[in-house]
Structure 1
């Protein structure tokens, strides 16, 4: 069998392509190159080549068009490294790019014979999903128009790619129906061998001076940032209510003090600062870990009494599925990406995204009946093992990409 050359393109590294790149790089049948803007990180056997846009987006560019200009600049940067690769004799058989940021925009121009695959994570809508979800934050005509134009680089990828992939049915459903025949639903996969329960686990993280080994009730929350998109304000309000009812309950928040999705506060403060200043919280029982290495993040999940996951109708987080795989008891928002996975009272407990009182009540329900909730924990893990297990999905990914 002839050597197959595969080029991954993603501004971050290794992101969704980590497991694919690792497995392919171990095979003598494949040569793997990864084009990225991120300098950190290496995968054995994978040649990483860095690209960098020639300039930033012009401030005078119309604000609707800035995301497209940014994507074009990224696509140009990828084109330049693709030329270098071609000059060195590397012409890929397959290119797999994450759509949206622009790395794959010119793949068909520089490598016209390559099979071009795209990872389609999200298609933007002004109405019916994340953008107009909060009635307290209505959209104006300017925002509606801006959101429509934000899809421009994604539509270009949809038109030029040979095959597309989306991780959930909900996310695929957001794309225009006329492109659905191009998009396969296949989740990245959760490593259920790594993310597994550890009965009676205690949470001790010496690196950040956190010792909750004497605590029996630990409520956990994980997100890339602390923002309304992932229900951080509602979670904090629920914790303020919970602390009044349960004097021995502690909360652990994993994530960076930033906004990963959505708007920042106009006054320049972070949502963490705002909630700490406005809510009556017992800070001695509220612990912010910042971002954690995977091993410590796993310890948080394994020691969790109740794990809270809230999200607008948006991209489903890996963390929710990882927490289920680790046997967490989920209290999660009754929103479309969540309900594709969680059935209320079967493998988790669903709540109104906008009701901190209901979040608090369901946390209490779970804490009051730990034995009765054991079945939900087991079912949560079984859900991941059945439908989202990396060991089952990775071979499907490899077949899809390399067949």
Structure 2
């Protein structure tokens, strides 16, 4: 099979399926993305660049569309180069969020596209906008939220098939579009993310942080520490927790940026909350460790006595799935994304998002009621084994691709039967046309890098077409400095 993946941050949500296809062998896998140092052996990469920055003169409502259309053009040019070199994929998989797939149908009109639909924005109650009464949205911003769906709407009306990881995310899309979107639950590596009964018996060291076997550990994880993930309300729950549990330590993983919601004019939410709670926290027991290596992340969760996961009605984080697989006793927010994973009193404790006292009560219950914490942790792991198994996810992913290929083949055959026969037109200027294409090929190739598979992959496992493409593009980009580093899991949603 020939696969073309498209995602601006290689490999994004496609890490597991790409690795799986590489392990199978015999596939030709090409990935179009922006440049980054990540490498997966056996995957050829084509990198693109945006031609310019978004202009500040553009209306705020069309800036996302402006970037999306630039990405669409850049990706289409890269794909055109691949096509000129003889690469025609059997299927295209990509993320619709950044507009990269908008023009791909023009390059490969007969190839089925499976697009990742992540979230459709809403301004009515029940979703992220105006969910938190502390941060009401200004009326003039409401139309800009609706405008953020422009790329979404173009993607929904383009040919192709859709996928999304949760029922909640599917429910955000218009009813008329949902029949074409398949829910494909994302899996977790249950071997890497597993409970460790011995973790509490040893001292855990992370930089300057030391958690002894006598300490109780509370964990909180987010890509960035911000209101969308409940950082502000969790911080307000800490004074009570620390006062009632003098042997408790809190480790917060996450950066100081803003991944979701409005940007701050200055500073960060960590500084804001520390100033608000000045004098109320024992800062010797509250540890901000920033973004950590994946191994450290796993070790912290394996040691955790209570893991807190809070979110607006928005996209659920991978860290929630991993915490379940590790068997953490979880305190989660009573919001739709979390309720799809956690059942209150069965696989975790659910609390109102905006009530710090209720968050504190649930955490304290887990810290003081060991039988309950153990029961909930075991149940969370069991649920992960049932519904978040990575191997099951990969099998279902392949099944989805097979269904799409069969459905597409059937629809193509139907269209072909309905078309009248057309007489062939013989071109008299064939040599000139061929020369023009060849010239165009040379010009475009110079702007494209395509990393060949690592040496340990045998030539036998690489299809002939892919070897030809690799040879052509490697020749065109000879002398380019391509970094090869070990690839760790991309945490697209923390």
TM range (shorter): over 0.9
With 281-290 and 56-65 compared, the bigger mean Cα shift is at 281-290
What is the distance in 1 between the residues matched to 2:32 and 2:185?
22
Residue 137 of structure 1 corresponds to 135
Residue 349 of structure 1 corresponds to 349
Counterpart secondary structure, 1:254: strand
State the TM-score, normalizing by the size of structure 1. 0.96
For structure 1, the 5+ residue unaligned runs are none
Asked if 1:18 is matched to 2:18, the reply is no
Cα deviation, 1:2-45, whole Å, max 9, x if unaligned, reads xx211111111211100111111233432111111141211110
Q: 1:158 aligns with which of 156, 178, 188?
A: 156
What is the distance in 2 between the residues matched to 1:215 and 1:48?
49
> Computing the radius of gyration over CA atoms, which structure comes out larger, 1 or 2?
2
Residue 215 of structure 2 corresponds to 216
Asked if 1:98 is matched to 2:79, the reply is no
Structure 1 position 373, deviation (Å): 2.3
Counterpart secondary structure, 2:179: helix
Counterpart secondary structure, 1:24: helix
Asked if 1:174 is matched to 2:147, the reply is no
Q: For the aligned residues, what is the CA RMSD?
A: 1.4
Contact kept, 8 Å, 1:204 with 1:210, in 2: the verdict is no
Contact kept, 8 Å, 1:201 with 1:302, in 2: the verdict is yes
Structure 1 position 184, deviation (Å): 0.4
Aligned length: 399
Contact kept, 8 Å, 2:161 with 2:181, in 1: the verdict is yes
State the TM-score, normalizing by the size of structure 2. 0.79
What is the distance in 1 between the residues matched to 2:98 and 2:390?
26
What is the distance in 2 between the residues matched to 1:28 and 1:374?
42
Higher relative contact order (CA 8 A, sep 6+): 2
What is the distance in 2 between the residues matched to 1:6 and 1:295?
31
User: For the structure 1 residues 356 and 307, does the alpha-carbon distance in structure 2 shift closer, same or farther, using more than 3 Å as the test?
Assistant: same
Cα deviation, 1:308-366, whole Å, max 9, x if unaligned, reads 00000000111011101100000000001111111110000011100111111111111
Residue 325 of structure 2 corresponds to 325
Structure 1 position 215, deviation (Å): 4.1
For structure 2, the 5+ residue unaligned runs are 406-494
Counterpart secondary structure, 2:97: coil
User: For the structure 1 residues 344 and 206, does the alpha-carbon distance in structure 2 shift closer, same or farther, using more than 3 Å as the test?
Assistant: closer
What is the distance in 2 between the residues matched to 1:204 and 1:153?
49
User: For the structure 1 residues 179 and 300, does the alpha-carbon distance in structure 2 shift closer, same or farther, using more than 3 Å as the test?
Assistant: same
Q: 1:197 aligns with which of 195, 204, 217?
A: 195
Contact kept, 8 Å, 1:53 with 1:76, in 2: the verdict is no
Structure 1 position 233, deviation (Å): 0.5
With 137-146 and 278-287 compared, the bigger mean Cα shift is at 137-146
Cα deviation, 1:225-254, whole Å, max 9, x if unaligned, reads 010000001111111221122111100011
Residue 249 of structure 1 corresponds to 248
What is the distance in 2 between the residues matched to 1:395 and 1:159?
28
What is the distance in 1 between the residues matched to 2:23 and 2:213?
44
Structure 1 position 207, deviation (Å): 5.9
Contact kept, 8 Å, 1:215 with 1:250, in 2: the verdict is no
Cα deviation, 1:150-186, whole Å, max 9, x if unaligned, reads 1111111111142100100000000001011110001
Contact kept, 8 Å, 1:166 with 1:172, in 2: the verdict is yes
Asked if 1:74 is matched to 2:65, the reply is no
Q: 1:120 aligns with which of 112, 117, 122?
A: 117
What is the distance in 2 between the residues matched to 1:263 and 1:102?
21
Cα deviation, 1:43-99, whole Å, max 9, x if unaligned, reads 110112111111111110000000111111111111121122112221222111101
